[in-house]
Structure 1
Amino acid sequence: MLSAFNKHNTLMSEAQDGNGFDRHLLGLYLIAKEEGRPTPELFSDPLYSRSGGGGNFVLSSSLVGYTSVMGAVAPMVHYGYGFFYRIRDDRIVISITAWKSCHETDAASLFNAFSSSMHEMLHLATKSQL
């Protein structure tokens, strides 16, 4: 669990410093468009889209801050989820969205699975005295 925390913190720090891979890809795409150049082949590769490129993320998640402000958005794809959260001193507040018209998704089930996972992590952290 500590290894996962450390990896998450490293990736979060890199993204905050502008070193997230998606920012570089977006920059490449925008420069090509702005300069009238052909779109790089990467952006037409089916795997780019399937991996979430071009706004196709099945799970769109974001920390909306450590304030009292909360928001939510619709999923990026019909068969996806929007998962926004904020961290308070005494709780984590989450907002999960999914399209009711999609039979592959269920926001209530995702909420229950997330809540269960958080309780398991609390139990592990308490038992191991992290």
Structure 2
Amino acid sequence: MSVTKLTFQRWLAGAQEPCGDAATVLEFWLGHSIKELLGPAPAVRFERAEYAPAVRDLVRLSDQWHGRPDLEEAFVDGYGRHLTADEVELWECEAGLDALSGIQSGMTHHDPELVERGHRTLARLHQLTRS
């Protein structure tokens, strides 16, 4: 078993704190529902998993609760805590990189939803810098 799978299994079992560096699966995108990812039989493909900051997985997931404080609070309740200031700063950096990557990939593969998500993320980040 790979280190990534083992770390992820520990995290799912609650034996490892999901902060700092952890196994990230990069599977939170429009093609997967939360139920598929976190249900009784998670549909997580590990071929894209890697050891990285845990906040990285939250970049795409957070797009789902933008403008919905009730969903964000539900996530925080389930996660068990708010992000630290360092994690928020890292989330902003990861979100910018993911947005640019999504726009490029969406343009290349003719995926307008991916391009739109990237633009939405950049607009949100721009608002954060202005507030």
TM (normalized to structure 2)?
0.30
| Structure that is richer in strand per residue | 1
Q: What TM-score comes out, normalization by structure 1 length?
A: 0.30
